[in-house]
């Protein structure tokens, strides 16, 4: 596996693969790999000749009071894990390489970024994601890029950018990978103390409870949400948000007639965690 740090070298590697008629898959990451990341790499490996994993803790998607400086970083460990998955290139540029002096462009996706994490973290968050992902697509020019469904709103934002800017890349959403007790895997789980780690299971249990209510035939949004609220309250968790939104445009829904995104974000101990389920509608 090659580790590439410059945009020029990354472009050259992709050009060479393209000349040989090879397909290119990209897994964009911020490192601190866990099974969720590795599952994306495996998917990319199955489908592509050249697999590129980007490792870049993107400063522009972190707020002033967020965890940019403490975000877990261990490139040597990440490189070993990626190599073990058969990744061809780890693209690990510096912040100065990605955002050189004079950098002045930002991609602002409106509408779907006004809610959930966009409202909770601030508009800058998805501007930062959209901008860096678009840059990665410009540098790597992948046929397909792989994202985890845990960041459901992020996938919607990326798909919007790809559609609106006519980018020639297919976006593949991959299932959430969970610990055996249901906790969605996240690089931020390392912030959890043993007590908070136990408390954090309430997020997936809350979503399970709400899904079970929906599966029993209930369509009323409030009754479905109430099941999740009870589990969170019992665990002493006050969510930043717990919302039911339509799975296509993120409009609020009061009834689950078509597919809906049930999304939660909460601070548990030192970590801010998110999770979601898609609730199936009838149409």
Q: List the catalytic residues.
A: 37
- Given candidates 10, 13, 29, 81, which one binds ligand PAF under the rule CB under 6 A? 29
Helices (H), the chain: 7-19, 35-47, 75-84, 95-98, 116-121, 123-140, 152-164, 194-215, 221-234
CB proximity list for 137: less than 8 A, separation 6 or greater = 26, 145, 162, 167, 169
Nearest to 103 by CA among 26, 7, 191: 7
Q: Which stretch binds ligand PAF (CB under 6 A): 72-80, 125-133, 160-168, 254-262?
A: 125-133
Binding span for ligand PAF by CB under 6 A among 24-32, 164-172, 211-219, 248-256: 24-32
Interface with ligand PAF by CB under 6 A: which range of 26-34, 85-93, 211-219, 223-231? 26-34
Handedness of CA 142, 144, 150, 156 (dihedral sign): positive
Which of 129, 237, 253, 265 forms a contact with ligand PAF (CB under 6 A)? 129
Q: Which residues contact 54 (CB under 8 A, 6 or more apart)?
A: 26, 27, 28, 29, 90, 91, 92, 93, 136, 140
Per rule CB under 6 A, is residue 36 in the interface with ligand PAF? Answer: no
- Interface with ligand PAF includes 39 (CB under 6 A)? no
Q: Is 48 in the site for ligand PAF (CB under 6 A)?
A: no
Q: Residue 217, SS3?
A: coil
142 touching ligand PAF, by CB under 6 A: no
Choices 22-30, 97-105, 178-186, 259-267; region in contact with ligand PAF by CB under 6 A: 22-30
Query: Could you tell me if residue 73 is left (phi over 0), alpha (psi between -120 and 50 degrees) or otherwise beta?
Result: beta
According to the binding rule CB under 6 A, does residue 140 interact with ligand PAF?
no
Q: Could you give the 3-state DSSP secondary structure of residue 66? A: coil
Provide the minimum distance between the beta carbon of 148 and ligand PAF in the complex, in angstroms, as a whole number.
7
**Quick one: 94 exposed, middle or buried, by C-beta within 10 A (0-12, 13-18, 19+)?**
exposed
Among 17, 24, 26, 28, binds ligand PAF (CB under 6 A): 28
Interface residue with ligand PAF among 78, 151, 243, 275 (CB under 6 A) is: 151
Could you say whether residue 133 binds ligand PAF (CB under 6 A)? yes
Binding footprint of ligand PAF on the chain (CB under 6 A): 28-30, 58, 61, 129, 132-133, 151, 154
């Amino acid at each position: 596996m090659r580790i590439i740090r410059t945009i020029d070298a990354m472009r050259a590697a992709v050009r060479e693969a393209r000349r040989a008629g090879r397909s290119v898959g990209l897994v964009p990451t911020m490192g601190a790999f866990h099974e969720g990341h590795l599952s994306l790499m495996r998917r990319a490996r199955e489908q592509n000749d050249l697999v590129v994993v980007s490792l870049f803790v993107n400063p522009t998607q972190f707020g002033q009071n967020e965890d940019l400086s403490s975000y877990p970083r261990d490139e040597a460990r990440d490189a070993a894990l990626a190599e073990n998955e058969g990744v061809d290139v780890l693209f690990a540029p510096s912040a100065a390489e990605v955002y050189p002096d004079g950098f002045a462009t930002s991609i602002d996706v409106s509408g779907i970024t006004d809610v959930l994490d966009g409202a909770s973290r601030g508009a800058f968050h998805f501007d930062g994601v959209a901008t860096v992902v678009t840059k990665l697509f410009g540098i790597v020019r992948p046929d397909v890029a792989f994202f985890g469904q845990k960041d459901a709103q992020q996938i919607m934002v990326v798909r919007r950018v790809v559609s609106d800017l006519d980018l020639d890349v297919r976006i593949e959403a991959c299932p959430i990978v969970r610990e055996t007790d249901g906790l969605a895997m996240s690089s931020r789980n390392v912030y959890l103390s043993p007590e908070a780690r136990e408390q954090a299971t309430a997020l997936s249990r809350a979503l399970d409870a709400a899904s079970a209510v929906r599966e029993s035939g209930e369509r009323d949004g409030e009754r479905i949400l109430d099941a999740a609220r009870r589990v969170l309250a019992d665990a002493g968790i006050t969510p930043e948000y717990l919302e039911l939104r339509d799975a296509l445009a993120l409009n609020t829904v009061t009834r689950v007639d078509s597919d809906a995104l049930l999304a939660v974000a909460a601070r548990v101990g030192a970590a801010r965690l998110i999770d979601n389920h898609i609730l199936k509608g009838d149409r």
